[in-house]
Amino acid sequence: NHQYRAAALMHFARLLVDRGKPEEALSLSSQSLNIWTSTLSASGPRTAEAHAIHAYALEHLHRPREAGEELETAVPILLKTRGEDDPVVRRAQNWLKEARTEPAQTANTAH
């Protein structure tokens, strides 16, 4: 349960999603979240970043509602602690935007 391990798992999870392996990523991001929440504040920036990466995996598994819930909590914390120009914040905001638009796109394609 070391924070170095949590950080490595978190970043590896993001890379796995980028490589098209969101199932594997979700397992690692979940482990990372468990470590961060047991060693840091739930409202801390590292925990928020882990939630964002977990949401990224969920989004790629076509689970936008769950991804949106993770990001709704994470993005305000990241904005407050890192600022709006931070690349992590911008990436999380983009993921949130994607999570919010996916259900509408799915509904439109069903007609």
Q: What is the pLDDT of residue 95?
A: 85
| C-beta separation of 74 from 55 below 8 A | yes
Average pLDDT, the chain: 89
pLDDT digits (tens, 9 = 90+) for 89-111: 998 898 888 888 865 444 444 44
Cα distance between residue 31 and residue 47, in whole Å? 12
pTM of the model: 0.84
